[in-house]
Amino acid sequence: MQLVNHHYQIQGLNLEDICQEFGTPLYIYDADAILEKIQSLRTAFSGLPLRLKYAAKALTNISILKLMKSQQVGIDVVSIQEARLGLMAGFAPEEIMFTPNGVSFQEMQEAIELGINIGIDNLPMLEHFGQLYADKLSCSLRLNPHIVAGGHAKIQVAHINSKFGISISQLSQILEIVNNYQIKIAGLHVHTGSDLKDADVFLQTAAILFDAAMQFKHLRFINFGGGFKVAYKKGDHTTNIHELGAKLKDAFLAFCERYGKNLEIWFEPGKFLVSEAGLLLVKTNVVKKAPTTVFVQVDSGMNHLIRPMMYDAYHDIVNISNPDGPQQEYTVVGYICETDTLGANRELNEVREGDIIAIKNAGAYGFSMSSNYNSRLRPAEVMVYKGQAKLIRKREELEDLIKNQVVADWES
């Protein structure tokens, strides 16, 4: 989003004009911003046999998946439904990595039948896989390295009490199952969680993974997950991926030499690729003065963007309708019958009824975590691609809320 001649734009298109055409609330994504992020990763890890697998849970719209596919980026999925969306978007089964958590073995079998790569994150599942598929298929393993990466506690997923992955302290049990069934392990996977800031923490994780990898003879790849931190406000510390790339390159090549063959290096970025590309555009319903604050009440809320309430996440907020207005302090809240503060005590250009408010960094875990709470409808989604704003999801209607409801006939 750029301010040009007193108007906020994406790729030369006026955001208020886009709202006029498609209505509010509205999710809008800048395809150019996504493509720039993909290229930045390829530059940072140049010289390595790199494969990118977009973490589809961040934003599963099929048009976004097709954009990833056009850039030779595969996908990482965590449900069979995401896997099927990937196939609908044109991905070949071998381009999809299925790394679920806590699913039934039946769901895992469904993915196997589709020909999708399988990642296993618990010992009982590994045992089931060995009993049925060891002589036919390989799989990968997600390990928990017991590393605290930083960020909100709810997005740290590699500490000792995390439900994700098989504990590195259970390596001997893993090897017992693998050797008992002669399972071919194609890759090792680790993901420490979002908001990874420090390259050295990443290298600590890599060292643990490299040591474990020496126990497996048939590896094709090492998967380092994602979690690169993006900026949510001015001055935010972010992951220096170029520094990380330089340090990890030396460590990875040294490991490959020790291992005895060259492996691929995989990453599964989600938020990094789409967060900054997305905006949630909302309209001001009411400017409400209270004794201690002035509320900007908008036509959206935690039903469309839950991150501020779930993770205490900070999203920068801009009044795009009045870029030259005097600055005042406001608290931006939604229209949900809960406390759904989107941003407290924010300095915004004077807000008037009807003004369009842009909530930034809404591309990741925005629409994908949205709900119909209060029987509210989900927004439309638009992608700006090659200078054109294209609708990629229609706004919900009342019929969408009730189409699966069955009215019981109590008199029968």
Instruction: Give me the active site residues, please.
Output: 337
> Position 15: which residue type?
L
| Cα–Cα distance for residue pair 98/101, rounded to 1 Å | 10
Pairing of strands 50-55, 317-319: unpaired
* 330 appears as a binding residue in the annotation: no
Do residues 231 and 271 touch, judged by C-beta distance below 8 A?
Answer: no
Helix (H) or strand (E) holding 77: strand 74-77
Question: Among residues 24, 9, 54, which one has the least CA distance to residue 364?
Answer: 54
> Position 283: which residue type?
K
* 94 appears as a binding residue in the annotation: no
* 385 appears as a binding residue in the annotation: no
Buried b (16+ CB within 10 A) or exposed e, 308-325: bbebebbbebbbbbeeee
Q: The dihedral of CA 258, 204, 218, 130: what is its sign? A: positive
| Cα–Cα distance for residue pair 60/87, rounded to 1 Å | 12
* 307 appears as a binding residue in the annotation: yes
Task: Give the dihedral of Cα atoms 301, 303, 309, 315; nearest 10 deg.
Answer: -60
* 396 appears as a binding residue in the annotation: no
| Cα–Cα distance for residue pair 320/311, rounded to 1 Å | 26
| Cα–Cα distance for residue pair 191/213, rounded to 1 Å | 15
Task: Write the DSSP symbol of residue 182.
Answer: T
| Cα–Cα distance for residue pair 300/343, rounded to 1 Å | 13
Angle ∠(274,276,282) on CA atoms, nearest 5 = 105
| Cα–Cα distance for residue pair 48/266, rounded to 1 Å | 10
Please give the annotated binding residues for pyridoxal 5'-phosphate, written as ranges.
Answer: 227, 365
Please give the annotated binding residues, written as ranges.
Answer: 227, 307, 311, 338, 365
Please give the annotated binding residues for substrate, written as ranges.
Answer: 307, 311, 338, 365
